[in-house]
Amino acid sequence: MRKLSTAVAALAVMTLSAPVAAQAQTKVVVGIPTSPPNIVHMPVIVAKELGLYKKAGLDVEIVSLGDGVKVYRALLAGNIDLGLTPGAPTIIGRSNGALVKAVSANLPKLEASLIVRDTIKTMADLKGKRIGIQEPGGFADLLSRSVLRAAKIDPKEVNFVSIASEDVPALVADQVDTAILHVEQEMLAKSKVPNLHAVARMWELQPKTLYTFLSTTEKTIKEKPAVVQTFVSATIEATRIIYTEKVKVMPIFVKQTGYPEKILSDTYDFMVKECIWDANSGLSAERVNFTADLMTKVGNIKEGKTPTYDDVVDASFAKKAIEQLGEWKGPVCLTAAF
């Protein structure tokens, strides 16, 4: 009887604990810009694939929405809980009263390059060339125009060519002379046409411009602060794993992108060398304020409406995460927490 009672008690404990464990997983929907994802956007994917979110009690669904502005709009509409949103539009939205806050920025550097054919040696040689863009006002168009400004070339002195969303084939097929590419796209293009090269690295040309925030709404911050904290902490932890454990993250890169492993290995090495990710908060006041001031200067924010750092950022979650994890000091990159 004693053995039977013990067995029944154990079964009761198992029956009761199973639903509790299931209930402990809080559903969270996160938006990212591209599908397949670019390597620069990998911290949230690595965190999910390595079980960091699940371990912390989050059932995370990652949805690709095409571009960063669409992620921002989905956040405003309440269709996602958190999202990787572009720095400038997020700051502009705040100036217009949007109740969205940046809670971290592990992708602060403007990771994109203007890749060109061998007939172009310097930015000055862009005059008269075929500039590849997806659509007017899009990501490639805006960045290409910023390169032209730096080269003091009037946009009327080049030929803008609209191509498909995937830039690599058009550049390889000599349909255009330039393309704005992420690092893995650059590596793939150069594997096909070795004399392609970067004439401008956007993170060098615009070193203070903030690329991407991890953002959420003030409503979510108020109603689900524990979820936001858990997500921010796990994402920062994943960023550190990217820097220190290449063997662990490379299979995730291959699975998620479909790119050849050699291309991704070269991409990884280059991005680590350039310290593309921020393994602390990434919420540099210098970057946020510079981007806000720049958007005001170019007329995207009305005079007198420039948001302050505290308007744009809620740094409390990242600060708490870094208190728990410790400030990142390398061994790869030396970055300040804030």
* Per-residue model confidence (pLDDT) at position 8: 41
* Per-residue model confidence (pLDDT) at position 310: 97
When pLDDT is cut at 50, 70 and 90, the band that residue 164 belongs to is confident
* Per-residue model confidence (pLDDT) at position 321: 97
When pLDDT is cut at 50, 70 and 90, the band that residue 238 belongs to is very high
What tokens appear for 253 in the block? 């890169």
- Please state which of the ranges 119-128, 141-150, 234-243 shows the lowest mean pLDDT: 141-150
Please check the confidence at residue 53 and state whether its pLDDT lies above 60: yes
**Which amino acid is residue 133, in one-letter code?**
I
Domains 18-109+209-325 and 113-205 share a fold: yes
What tokens appear for 132 in the block? 């590849």
**Which amino acid is residue 76, in one-letter code?**
L
* Per-residue model confidence (pLDDT) at position 138: 79
Pick from 109, 139, 105, 143: nearest CA to 123: 143
CATH node for 113-205? 3.40.190.10
pLDDT tens digits, residue range 98-107?
999 999 999 9
pLDDT tens digits, residue range 116-129?
999 999 999 999 99
Q: What is the mean pLDDT of residues 182-208?
A: 95
CA-angle at 101, arms to 253 and 256, nearest 5°: 10
* Per-residue model confidence (pLDDT) at position 208: 94
What tokens appear for 299 in the block? 């007329």
What tokens appear for 287 in the block? 């970057």
What residues does each domain of the chain span?
18-109+209-325, 113-205
- Please state which of the ranges 2-6, 78-82, 84-88, 190-194 shows the lowest mean pLDDT: 2-6
* Per-residue model confidence (pLDDT) at position 5: 45
pLDDT tens digits, residue range 5-50?
444 444 444 444 444 344 478 999 999 998 889 999 999 999 999 9
CATH class label, 18-109+209-325 = alpha beta
* Per-residue model confidence (pLDDT) at position 102: 98
Percent of the chain with pLDDT over 70: 90
* Per-residue model confidence (pLDDT) at position 332: 56
Average pLDDT over the chain reads 89
| In the block, residue with structure tokens 């858990």 | 230
What tokens appear for 223 in the block? 């109603």
* Per-residue model confidence (pLDDT) at position 136: 82
When pLDDT is cut at 50, 70 and 90, the band that residue 285 belongs to is very high
Please check the confidence at residue 178 and state whether its pLDDT lies above 50: yes
Classify residue 322 as exposed, middle or buried by CB count within 10 Å of its CB (0-12, 13-18, 19+).
Answer: buried
Please check the confidence at residue 150 and state whether its pLDDT lies above 50: yes
Whole-number Å distance between alpha carbons of 142 and 128: 18
Whole-number Å distance between alpha carbons of 292 and 294: 5
Whole-number Å distance between alpha carbons of 338 and 332: 18
Whole-number Å distance between alpha carbons of 45 and 39: 10
Q: Give, as one character, the DSSP assignment of residue 195.
A: T
CA-angle at 72, arms to 67 and 75, nearest 5°: 130
Q: Which residues contact 135 (CB under 8 A, 6 or more apart)?
A: 141, 162
Pick from 88, 118, 99, 331: nearest CA to 210: 88
Whole-number Å distance between alpha carbons of 261 and 39: 13
* Per-residue model confidence (pLDDT) at position 3: 43
Strand arrangement of the beta sheet that strand 197-201 belongs to = 159-162, 130-133, 178-181, 113-116, 197-201
